């Protein structure tokens, strides 16, 4: 989902109709909060990712939500290209809207303009047996999205994962090498993957590392110096780019050395994700940096084509350095209750249900009898379920108690634990696209040996200043 432009966000706020009050928090059981005999209200749920894949299946999803919660919903799922404008329109005109999905970037920008757009959910979350259970969602996760006023305004959609180093563990074992721990260890392993014939074909045809160049996937390297991707604020509240500080020099020098010695696959600047994925899966590269969920997908895809392949992709911790270990976790997908909602309690029931076991089943595997069947305790995906690949908005639910009855792909669970341990979300700013463009261009020059790390960092900061980001 594309981020909204600032001008569009401003227009959202001009016409927003704020709710006169927020419903008092209560602990409730499933079922409508309407008086007995009254017709149930139908909640409007605007989403970009959750629910069915087509109008017919969306209706089935609506029915399933009502079956499990007693709440009637009408899910509206515009095409992804139209989602931003639909969200804009509904918020700006005060249309009935009870649940809205948005990524953390959009939420941050909207909240900065006017927090009253959102219903505070803190007391409801604290009183919820599901959402307050640290075995489901740890308190540390809620604290990440808690505002300075102590309130929480959203409920998570799913476990967003993060980017991490992914290695050919079978190559590591074959060469009798330990799992790398530091940047120096990483260099030694990647050099061995390039020079020591890890595939055993007697040819010099492998690379240690294959990536696509955004610095997004490889942010774990900079984490060894304690540096986060994007912008941060200094003690005075001014923005600065950690990747454009002298602390980043060892990482740029590391990458430049890999390129100079032929260890880094040379097309990294122009590689699309499909290019470096194919290099990794086809045995041409021993390591890549990518989303942790792809650990399992790599293994599934390779073994589906060649069941006897020795291929074993595993996620490993990022290199440790003076800054410890840091990975870049994915931006949160959030569900909010707009203040215009007239059915806040029922809306919260749905958000709470999303993190129960049955909610996890529905949001990942799908609808019983449609996506899957259970016969004598044995789960089976239908043909439709196989097509949907166990993704109805939350392929990997947020709940720590979730266990997929079909099992997780090889290597995924270990990768997820590494991300949970070391992952940190990037701070969202309105300058992020400019950061990407400027940092990517200058870092490429450093890695290709066209300028020194110090020169590249100086150029980055100068360009940030010229763009009006730094005063």
One digit per residue, the tens of pLDDT, for the chain of length 471 reads 433 444 444 444 444 433 333 333 333 333 444 455 568 899 999 999 999 988 999 999 999 999 999 999 999 999 888 898 898 789 888 899 999 999 888 898 888 888 999 999 999 999 999 999 999 999 999 998 999 999 999 999 999 999 999 999 999 999 999 999 999 999 999 999 999 999 999 999 999 999 987 677 899 999 999 999 999 999 999 999 999 999 999 999 999 999 999 999 999 999 989 999 999 999 999 999 999 989 998 998 999 889 999 999 999 999 999 999 999 998 899 999 999 999 999 999 999 999 999 999 999 999 999 999 999 999 999 999 988 888 899 989 999 999 999 998 899 999 999 998 999 988 888 898 899 999 999 999 999 999 999 999 999 999 999 999 986
Pairing of strands 333-336, 155-156: antiparallel
The answer for residues whose C-beta is within 8 angstroms of residue 50's C-beta and 6 or more apart is 61, 75, 77, 101, 157, 363, 392, 393, 394
Q: Give the three-state DSSP class for 435.
A: helix
- Tokens coding 402: 């979730």
Matching residue, tokens 């990536």 = 211
Q: Spell out the domains of the chain, with CATH numbers in brackets.
A: 6-159+331-399 (3.40.190.10), 163-329+426-466 (3.40.190.10)
pTM of the predicted protein model: 0.78
Q: What is the model's pLDDT at position 81?
A: 83
Full DSSP string of 230-257:
S-EE-TTS-EE-GGGSGGGHHHHHHHHH
Secondary structure class of 62 (helix, strand, coil): helix
DSSP secondary structure letters along 299-340: HHHHHHH-TT----EEE-PPPPBTTB--EEEPPPEEEE-BTT
pLDDT of residue 213: 75
Scanning 344-404, the segments in alpha helix (DSSP H) are 344-353, 357-364, 383-388
Query: What is the rounded CA–CA span in Å between residue 241 and residue 222?
Result: 12
Of the candidates 189, 143, 145, 184, which has an alpha carbon nearest to the alpha carbon of residue 167? 189
pLDDT of residue 5: 43
* Rounded Cα gap, residues 149 and 368, in angstroms: 42
Query: Which pLDDT belongs to residue 26?
Result: 36
> What is the sign, positive or negative, of the torsion defined by CA atoms of 278, 279, 280, 281?
positive
pLDDT number for residue 38: 67
Tokens of 62: 């609506």
How open is the CA angle 387-390-392, to the nearest 5 degrees? 100
98: left (phi over 0), alpha (psi -120 to 50) or beta: alpha
CA dist 456 to 245, 261, 439, 461, Å? 10, 20, 9, 9
Give first-to-last CA distance, the chain, whole Å.
31
């Amino acid at each position: 989902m594309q981020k909204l432009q600032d001008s569009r966000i401003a227009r959202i706020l001009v016409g927003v109709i704020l709710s006169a009050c927020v419903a008092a928090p209560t602990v409730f059981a499933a079922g409508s909060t309407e008086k007995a005999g009254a017709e149930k209200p139908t909640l409007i749920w605007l989403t970009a990712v959750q629910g069915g894949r087509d109008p017919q299946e969306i209706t089935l999803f609506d029915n399933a939500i009502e079956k499990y919660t007693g709440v009637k919903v009408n899910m509206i799922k515009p095409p992804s290209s139209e989602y931003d404008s639909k969200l804009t329109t509904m918020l700006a005109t005060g249309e009935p809207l009870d649940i809205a999905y948005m990524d953390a970037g959009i939420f941050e920008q909207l909240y900065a303009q006017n927090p009253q757009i959102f219903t505070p959910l803190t007391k409801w979350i604290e009183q919820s047996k599901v959402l307050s259970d640290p075995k489901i969602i740890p308190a540390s996760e809620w604290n990440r999205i808690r505002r300075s006023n102590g309130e929480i305004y959203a409920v998570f959609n799913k476990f967003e994962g993060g980017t991490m180093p992914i290695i050919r563990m079978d190559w590591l074992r074959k060469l009798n090498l330990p799992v790398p721990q530091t940047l120096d260890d990483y260099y030694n392993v990647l050099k061995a993957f390039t020079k020591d014939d890890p595939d055993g074909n007697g040819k010099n045809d492998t690379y240690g590392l294959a990536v696509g160049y955004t610095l997004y996937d490889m942010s774990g390297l900079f984490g060894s110096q304690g540096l986060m991707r994007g912008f941060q604020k200094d003690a005075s509240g001014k923005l600065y780019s950690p990747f454009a500080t002298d602390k980043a020099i060892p990482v740029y020098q590391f990458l430049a050395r890999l390129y100079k010695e032929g260890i880094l696959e040379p097309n990294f600047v122009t590689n699309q994700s499909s290019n470096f994925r194919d290099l990794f899966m086809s045995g041409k590269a021993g390591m890549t940096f990518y989303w942790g969920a792809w650990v399992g997908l790599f293994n599934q895809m390779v073994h589906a084509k060649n069941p006897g392949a020795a291929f074993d992709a595993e996620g490993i911790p990022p290199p440790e350095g003076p800054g410890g270990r840091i990975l870049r976790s994915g931006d949160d997908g959030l569900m909010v209750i707009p203040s215009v909602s007239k059915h806040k309690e029922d809306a919260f029931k749905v958000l709470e249900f999303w993190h129960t076991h049955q909610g996890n089943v529905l949001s990942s595997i799908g609808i019983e009898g449609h996506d899957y069947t259970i016969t004598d305790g044995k789960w089976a995906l239908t043909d439709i379920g196989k097509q949907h690949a166990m993704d109805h908005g939350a392929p990997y639910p947020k709940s720590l108690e979730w266990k997929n009855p079909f099992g997780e792909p090889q290597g995924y669970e270990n990768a997820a634990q590494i991300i949970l341990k070391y992952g940190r979300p990037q701070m969202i700013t309105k300058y992020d696209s400019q950061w990407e463009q400027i940092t990517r261009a200058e870092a490429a020059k450093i890695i290709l040996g066209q300028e020194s790390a110090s020169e590249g960092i100086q150029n980055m900061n100068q360009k940030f200043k010229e763009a009006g980001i730094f005063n």
